[in-house]
């Protein structure tokens, strides 16, 4: 059984390589290279996989899952600058792909310790652009 929890956050970022000029960065990263930052409203879907516990009728307790996602991810990124303020994004490109990978790394173990398996992290940067990682 697959169970998905949805969370939202908004955060600022900039996609750029410091060794490139602003023009070169714009050429590669487009509007996301704006030197004065900009924000996105992100939507995060965390899907876990496991058997339905016959006693509880649940794969995992959604309240616990939500608490883990909020504490380990949302509280760290919401209303923050992904380039400069988020510990698990230090030294990484603040692209949707890299944020998604970092969130996987943060959540994989705690979800395993809940008795389930992390199946997919889906991160939507806009309603048209999203990534999915299956480990």
Tell me which stretch binds Ni ion (CB under 5 A): 18-26, 28-36, 56-64, 76-84.
28-36
Contact (CB, 8 A) for 107 and 69: yes
Tokens of 99: 């944020």
Q: Which residue is nearest to Ni ion (CB)?
A: 32
Tell me which stretch binds Ni ion (CB under 5 A): 16-24, 31-39, 78-86, 91-99.
31-39
φ, ψ of residue 58 to 5 degrees: the values are -125, 155
Identified catalytic residue from 27, 75, 79, 97: 79
Under the criterion CB under 5 A, does residue 11 sit at the interface with Ni ion?
A: no
Residues 6+ apart with CB under 8 A from 103: 44, 46, 73, 88, 121, 123
Q: Is 23 a catalytic residue?
A: no
Identified catalytic residue from 32, 40, 100, 124: 32
Under the criterion CB under 5 A, does residue 32 sit at the interface with Ni ion?
A: yes
The SS3 of residue 120 is strand
Tell me which stretch binds Ni ion (CB under 5 A): 17-25, 27-35, 107-115, 116-124.
27-35
Contact (CB, 8 A) for 96 and 130: yes
Distance CA 86, CA 76 (A): 6
Smallest distance, Ni ion to C-beta of residue 32, A:
3
Identified catalytic residue from 13, 40, 124, 125: 125
Report, as residue numbers or ranges, the catalytic residues: 32, 79, 125
């Amino acid at each position: 059984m697959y169970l998905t929890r949805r969370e939202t956050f908004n955060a600022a970022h900039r996609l750029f390589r410091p060794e490139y000029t602003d023009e070169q960065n714009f050429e590669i990263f487009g509007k996301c290279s704006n030197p004065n930052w900009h924000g996105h409203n992100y939507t995060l879907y965390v899907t876990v996989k496991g058997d339905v516990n016959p006693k509880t009728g649940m794969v995992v307790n959604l309240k616990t899952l939500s608490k883990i996602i909020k504490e380990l991810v949302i509280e760290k990124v919401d209303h923050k600058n992904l380039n400069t303020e988020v510990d698990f994004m230090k030294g990484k490109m603040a692209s949707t792909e890299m944020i998604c990978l970092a969130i996987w790394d943060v959540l994989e173990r705690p979800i395993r310790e809940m008795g389930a398996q992390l199946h997919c992290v889906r991160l939507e940067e806009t309603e048209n652009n999203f990534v999915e990682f299956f480990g």
